[in-house]
Structure 1
Amino acid sequence: MNKIEEMIEAIEEYIENCKPVPLSSNKIIVEKDAIEELIRELRLKTPDEIKKYQKIISNKDAILADAKDQADSMLNAAKVHTQELVNEHEIMQRAYSEAEEIKDQAYSQAQAILDHATEEANQMRYSAVQYTDDMLANLQRIIEHSIDSNRSKYESLLSALDKDLNVVLSNRNELAGIGTDEEPEQPEDDAAAGLQDSGDYEE
């Protein structure tokens, strides 16, 4: 409670304690000196209270101004921080987009390299198969030619040997007829053995 309020309460209390005027319900008897003293004290204390309130108001304005400055500073800091977050988000989005683009390019390049390598491998495999087949075909021709050539030579050899064998047999028969009455044994076994040996040679 301030001093002015104290003086006002003192005046109100004084009035409550004053005696009423006879035959009147709203008039009282006051002592002039007492009421004047209360009013004088009220007047003396009023300037001090006014100064006090002015100081409070002045301090209040300063406090409000300081609070406003702090609020503005915090608001500016929040705006800066928000802008930094926005910039950081944009940077992250840009970095993510660039990373995705790089990944797609790398995948495309890797796929192209793989396709090219696969194509080259298939081409090399086809060339190797073709080369091997050509070599085998050439070898087949050589073997077939060799077989045909050797078969012809072998058949000629067998024919010559067969003629020689017939000559030998004929000579032996002639010799047998001249030298003795006994008929010489036919060298069928020898001839068969010779043919068998010739057959083994063919194989």
Structure 2
Amino acid sequence: MASGVEELLDMLFEMIDEAKNAPLSSDKCIVERDRALDLIDDIRSQFPMELTEARKMMARRAEMEAEAKRKADSIVRAADERAKQMLAADTIALQARQRANDMMRQAEERSRELKRSANEYCEDALRRTEEAVSEAYNEIKQSRSRFRAAAAATAGGAPAGRGAAPQPGASGGSPRSVYDADRD
């Protein structure tokens, strides 16, 4: 007995192909009825099994296609997610670079401001020092003038000027009794 529908159909085909022609007809033949009917019954009985197998194969094929589609969708989703992560990472890196540039610009600005402030402070401190030194110098000059005038008044009435010779014996016998800054 044949195992599949195709084999049974092949056997039926061979039987008809090898059958003797009917008398006075080239398109009709004489077939052994019982044998032909047995083959047709076998085909009918095999059909449900073949159809069941075909349906199982179609279902399995559909499952495989669905699984392949799920895997493909999963791969696409993963690729999309990875692309989003990479884009987010690029965005974060860009933001970090921008933030770093902003920080550098602010630091440079702050540095320039500090230098300017330091220069202004130094300039102001030097100006005040110069004014204080100038005032002190003027005070010293005035004090010297007063001292000379006072010294001249106590030494005999003549003002001690430049080039005036000290008087020996005056004020304790010291040869130089009045301080003269020009001589020092």
The answer for the alignment partner of 2:21 in structure 1 is 20
**TM-fit CA distance, 1:56:** 1.1
The answer for the alignment partner of 1:65 in structure 2 is 66
1:113 to 2:125 alignment: no
1:99 to 2:111 alignment: no
**TM-fit CA distance, 1:22:** 3.8
**TM-fit CA distance, 1:140:** 9.6
The answer for the alignment partner of 2:9 in structure 1 is 8
SS at match of 1:26: coil
**TM-fit CA distance, 1:110:** 0.7
**TM-fit CA distance, 1:18:** 1.6
The answer for the alignment partner of 1:56 in structure 2 is 57
1:84 to 2:96 alignment: no
1:139-150 maps to which residues of 2 (within 5 A)?
149-150=161-162
Q: Which has the higher contact order (CA 8 A, sep 6+)?
A: 1
> Which sections of structure 2, spanning at least 5 residues, go unmatched?
149-159, 168-184
Partners of 1:91 and 1:133 in 2: CA distance: 61
**TM-fit CA distance, 1:91:** 2.3
The RMSD of aligned alpha carbons is 3.5
Give the residue type in structure 1 aligned to 2:35: A
Structure showing greater Rg: 1
> Which sections of structure 1, spanning at least 5 residues, go unmatched?
158-203
Give the residue type in structure 2 aligned to 1:47: P
When the two structures are aligned, how many residues end up with a matched partner?
152
1 or 2, which has the higher helix percentage? 1
Structure 1 length normalisation: TM-score?
0.57
Partners of 2:141 and 2:8 in 1: CA distance: 139
Give the residue type in structure 2 aligned to 1:46: F
Measured at CA, do residues 140 and 25 of structure 1 come closer, stay the same or move farther in structure 2, by a change above 3 Å? Answer: farther
The answer for the alignment partner of 2:179 in structure 1 is none
Partners of 1:14 and 1:129 in 2: CA distance: 135
Partners of 1:125 and 1:81 in 2: CA distance: 64
**TM-fit CA distance, 1:36:** 1.5
